[in-house]
Amino acid sequence: MYRYSDNTETQKDKTHQKVKEQLNIFMEHLLLSEEDKHLFSKMVSECCDKHYEAIKSMEGKDPGLITPLIMALIVDQQSMIDRLKVNNC
């Protein structure tokens, strides 16, 4: 994901790195354009920041953190859909 480093890696940074490593292969095989890769990476990074505590709490059950990340992405996407529905009605 897109993060700046000043040589002080926090636990949050380590979690982001772990998620990024797990998703790199997925991104390379699923997404075709660089724009799509950038958009997906940005979405995942924002979701990791927003739901860090919930994602991190599941590390013992899912060491790759993919399941909690997907759950957080679904919550974010549904929230966005609900906001769009309210604004369009």
Domain of 46? 13-88
How far separated are the first and last CA of the chain, in Å rounded? 35
The burial of 19, by beta-carbon neighbours within 10 Å (0-12 exposed, 13-18 middle, 19 or more buried), is given as buried
- Chunk the chain into consecutive blocks of 10 residues (it has 89) and report each block's average pLDDT, rounded to whole numbers: 58 79 76 77 84 81 77 86 87
Q: Is residue 75 part of a domain?
A: yes
Q: Is residue 62 part of a domain?
A: yes
Q: Is residue 64 part of a domain?
A: yes
Q: Is residue 6 part of a domain?
A: no
Q: Where are the beta strands (DSSP E) in 1-89?
A: none
Q: Is residue 63 part of a domain?
A: yes
pTM of full prediction above 0.85: no
Query: Structurally, how many domains does the chain consist of?
Result: 1
Contact of 31 with 72, CB cutoff 8 Å? no
Q: What is the pLDDT of residue 67?
A: 80
